[in-house]
Amino acid sequence: MDRVALRGLRARGHHGVFPHEREEGQTFVVDVVLGLDTRPAAATDDLTRTVHYGVVAEEVVELVRGEPVALIETLAERIAERCLRHAPVREVEVVVHKPEAPVTVPFEDVTITITRSRA
């Protein structure tokens, strides 16, 4: 399976379990790796035979900016489901980074990584 990756998509969201996270919001960073067969698109040089990664990027940002959830696990699941709606995509890996997470010790990042595929 071939891979198309989008790394470092940034958007401000209001996800989290604490009231201040919901009120103030914070920046989330998302990486998605889409698994698909790119041979049909390569053979025809036809965008309609692959995934339009610009559209996927816009959809991911829309979800991060959208309806708040308590857990980044839930956000990652929503992103994976949206990516799998694109017909060529057979599998997706989603990493949601929460670099401003309310952690009381020095840290660089908190992430959740999930992999989902079509049933």
- The DSSP-derived string for the chain is -EEEEEEEEEEEE--SSSHHHHHH-EEEEEEEEEEE--HHHHHHT-GGGS--HHHHHHHHHHHHHSS--S-HHHHHHHHHHHHTTSTT--EEEEEEE-TT---SS--S--EEEEEEE--
Write out pLDDT tens, residues 41-58: 999 999 999 999 999 999
pLDDT tier at 119, thresholds 50, 70, 90: confident
Write out pLDDT tens, residues 81-98: 999 999 999 999 999 999
**Contact between residue 114 and residue 93 where contact means Cβ atoms under 8 Å apart:** yes
Q: Which of 66, 81, 98, 105 is catalytic?
A: 98
Q: What percent of the chain has pLDDT over 70?
A: 100
Q: Which domains can be identified in the chain, with CATH numbers?
A: 2-117 (3.30.1130.10)
Q: Has 56 been annotated as catalytic? A: no
Q: What percent of the chain has pLDDT over 90?
A: 99
In what side-by-side order are the strands of the sheet with 26-36? 2-13, 26-36, 91-97, 111-117
